[in-house]
């Protein structure tokens, strides 16, 4: 039995951070269920379907599992203070179809935040 489990783990498909460089994502947390995130190699667009807020970010990959988002544009004047803000993201865990990441604190958010993201496309 142990040999079978070992064999299966050796041949299972490995998931890595590079599987999540591009795509369409949603949060696993129901509190953020209105958000859809679309990421290309150079841009991330976040859309809140409930409020209509659209946030544009430049994406810069620092390593296979770390990237920064720099807010370049927001669709609502109430959020213009975010323009220019840099958010550091570290992918801490991956599995088939999802990843867990840490968004480091900055002048916009007071604490590190942990999110589980699900790739939907």
| Tens-place pLDDT, residues 60-119 | 999 999 999 999 999 999 999 999 999 999 999 999 999 999 999 887 778 999 999 999
Structural domain including 63 reads 15-119
pTM score, whole prediction: 0.84
CATH number of the CATH domain containing 95: 2.40.128
Q: Is the pLDDT of residue 11 over 50?
A: no
- Phi (first) and psi of residue 68, to 5 degrees: -120, 150
Whether residue 6 lies inside any domain: the answer is no
- Distance of alpha carbon 20 from alpha carbon 23, whole angstroms: 7
Whether residue 7 lies inside any domain: the answer is no
């Amino acid at each position: 039995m142990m040999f079978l489990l070992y064999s299966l783990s050796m041949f299972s498909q490995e998931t890595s951070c590079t599987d999540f460089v591009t795509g369409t994502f949603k949060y696993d947390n129901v509190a953020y269920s209105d958000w859809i995130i679309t990421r290309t190699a150079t841009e991330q667009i976040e859309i809140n379907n409930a409020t209509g807020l659209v946030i544009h970010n430049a994406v810069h990959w620092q390593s296979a599992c770390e990237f920064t988002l720099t807010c370049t544009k927001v669709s609502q004047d109430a959020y213009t203070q975010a323009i220019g803000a840099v958010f550091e993201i570290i992918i801490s865990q991956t599995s088939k179809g999802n990843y867990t990441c840490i968004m480091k604190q900055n002048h916009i958010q007071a604490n590190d935040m942990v999110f589980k993201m699900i790739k939907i496309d």
